[in-house]
Structure 1
Amino acid sequence: MILGPPEQIDSATRAFCATISPETPLYVPVRPAAASKPAYCFDNSVKYATANGGEAVYGWAVWRWPGRWFEAEHHAVWRSPGGDLLDVTPQAGDPVRVLFLPDPSAPYDPSTFRPNIMAPDGHEDLVREYIALVAQRGAITRTYWEPGMDVLPLFSAEDQARIAPLDARMAEIRTAIA
């Protein structure tokens, strides 16, 4: 799977972003801060702002698997006192930049879980099926989420039985569309 920041902000990328926020997506350089941890962008950005001035800016990191799908992940970056944006959180795959979509309507709230937003990049039936399976799986796993939780607990035997065929089919689809 090749999911990373879109290589360009084309019409398909702008259209996906417009379904999430009226703001303009922009590329933000990634330079992880020394003490920052992967997957803790909200804490990392606030701590960096506390130490260096500026503020955390909330929105979405936008990822794309070309020809397959877009995915937006709730995210935060740091805005310097001079107004420049910087992603201080280490990212999977070590991209030099992320596509960031500011969204003032999506501040970080530890009591609110914001699932990733996915949409097809094209019209392939398998991609649409995969996205539907992700949503089904998320509906099950989100019932286990609680504020402040770092990892999900073990699923009940009943939910494990519901998740297993979803995971198996998702793996088949990823193999088929790779």
Structure 2
Amino acid sequence: MTTDTPKTIDDALLAFCARISPATPEFVEVVPGDEARVAYCFSNSAEQVARAGGEIAYGWAIWRWPGRYFEAEHHAIWRSPDGTLRDVTPMLYGQTRILFLSDPGAVFDPERYRPNILGAEPGNAVAEDYVALADARSAILNAYGEPGVDHAITPADQARLDAITPRWMALYAELERG
């Protein structure tokens, strides 16, 4: 695992979040329900609303690879009837809290995939190059629909990916080395 819940909220993180939503990010406790499934935040939150009332809060889980980059992942959590925010989805790596950036306009629509948003840490040229190539790759792949769904890619787009991928992977390896 490279990205994780940020430890603190600093100016660089706030600047990244401001690109996505005017809301202030906040730490939210992860308290999954017994039937909740990893990676099913939208249905887990809807099921919690059906059981206990409240509403779904839409937005972004904010992750950070310290010194390298930030990542925003489209996410939903539960707002209890008293207004308390809880993430009812178990985390893949067992996190007990997340950083949540509210974005009421980011309502889940199964017909509209929202790709993760990356942002390089300030002053890290390797991360800036990596993020630029990751964005280019995503633009190509996301044109074919939701990731993980088998779609035939055109030879031209495959050639574009083939040109990007080696450099993108080399930059990632450089980021891993620190």
Cα deviation, 1:29-70, whole Å, max 9, x if unaligned, reads: 112222222222111111111112111100110111111111
Q: Which residue of 1 aligns with 2:87?
A: 87
Q: Which residue of 1 aligns with 2:153?
A: 156
**Where do 5+ consecutive residues of structure 2 fail to align?**
none
Work out the number of aligned pairs and report it: 175
| RMSD (Å) for aligned C-alpha atoms | 1.8
Relative distance call for 1:155 and 1:101 in structure 2 (3 A) is same
Relative distance call for 1:47 and 1:38 in structure 2 (3 A) is same
Query: Is contact 2:141–2:147 with CA below 8 Å preserved after alignment?
Result: no
Percent identity of paired positions between Structure 1 and Structure 2: 45
The one-letter code sitting in structure 2 at the alignment partner of 1:73 is: E
Q: Which residue of 2 aligns with 1:106?
A: 106
Aligned mates of 1:64, 1:15 — CA distance in 2? 13
The answer to whether the aligner puts 1:20 opposite 2:16 as a matched pair is no
Aligned mates of 1:160, 1:154 — CA distance in 2? 12
Query: Is contact 2:69–2:121 with CA below 8 Å preserved after alignment?
Result: yes
Aligned mates of 1:28, 1:100 — CA distance in 2? 7
The answer to whether the aligner puts 1:66 opposite 2:66 as a matched pair is yes
Q: State the TM-score, normalizing by the size of structure 1.
A: 0.89
Kindly state the Cα deviation for residue 142 of structure 1 after the two structures are TM-superposed: 1.1
Relative distance call for 1:165 and 1:92 in structure 2 (3 A) is farther
Q: State the TM-score, normalizing by the size of structure 2.
A: 0.89
Aligned mates of 1:150, 1:50 — CA distance in 2? 29
Aligned mates of 2:11, 2:112 — CA distance in 1? 31
SS at match of 1:144: coil
Cα deviation, 1:67-104, whole Å, max 9, x if unaligned, reads: 11111111100111111111111223211100001111
Kindly state the Cα deviation for residue 117 of structure 1 after the two structures are TM-superposed: 1.3
Which residue of 165, 168, 175 corresponds with 2:166? Answer: 168
Q: Which residue of 2 aligns with 1:6?
A: 6
Kindly state the Cα deviation for residue 167 of structure 1 after the two structures are TM-superposed: 3.2
